[in-house]
Amino acid sequence: MTNSYRHLSFWLDALAASGSDDLVRRPALPGDSEVDVAIIGGGLTGLWTAYYLAKADPTLAIAVIEKHIAGFGASGRNGGWCSALFPASTASLERRHGRDAAIAMRRAMIATVDEVGAVAATEGIDCDFVKGGTLSLASGTVQLDAAKAEVQEAARYGVDAITLVDAPSGAGGSAAASFDPACARLQPARLVRGLARTVENLGATIYEGTEVLDWEPHRVSTTNGTVTAGTIVVATEGYGATPSKTHRSVLPLYSLMIATEPLSDELWQEIGLEHGQTFTDFRHLLVYGQRTADNRFAFGGRGARYHWGSSIRSNYDRVPRVFEHLRRTLGEIFPAAKDAAITHHWGGPLGVPRDWHATASFDPATGIATAGGYVGDGLSTTNLAGRTLRDLILRRDTELTRLPWANHRSPRWEPEPLRFLGANLGTVSMGIADVEERLTRRPSLAAKVMGPLTGH
pLDDT number for residue 183? 98
pLDDT number for residue 243? 65
Give the Cα separation of 311 and 309 in Å (integer): 5
Cβ within 8 Å of residue 19, ≥6 positions away: none
Give the Cα separation of 401 and 108 in Å (integer): 11
Instruction: Show the low-confidence residues of the chain (pLDDT under 50).
Output: 1-2, 455
pLDDT number for residue 454? 54
Cβ(41)–Cβ(208) below 8 Å: no
DSSP string, 309-361: GG---GGGG--HHHHHHHHHHHHHHSGGGTTPPEEEEEEEEEEE-TTS--EEE
pLDDT number for residue 248? 84
Cis peptide before 415 (omega within 30 of 0): no
pLDDT number for residue 234? 97
Exposed e or buried b per residue across 166-184, where buried means at least 16 C-beta atoms within 10 angstroms of its C-beta:
ebbebbeebebbbbbbbbb
pLDDT number for residue 449? 62
Total Cβ atoms within 10 A of residue 376: 22
Cβ(56)–Cβ(398) below 8 Å: no
Total Cβ atoms within 10 A of residue 324: 12
Cβ(125)–Cβ(192) below 8 Å: no
Give the Cα separation of 60 and 280 in Å (integer): 42
Cβ(272)–Cβ(384) below 8 Å: no
Query: Which segments within 79-173 are labelled E, that is strand?
Result: 81-83, 134-139, 163-166
pLDDT number for residue 246? 67
pLDDT digits (tens, 9 = 90+) for 200-239: 999 999 999 999 999 999 999 999 999 999 999 999 998 8
Burial of 253 (0-12, 13-18, 19+ CB in 10 A): buried
Cβ within 8 Å of residue 378, ≥6 positions away: 44, 45, 74, 75, 78, 237, 350, 351, 372
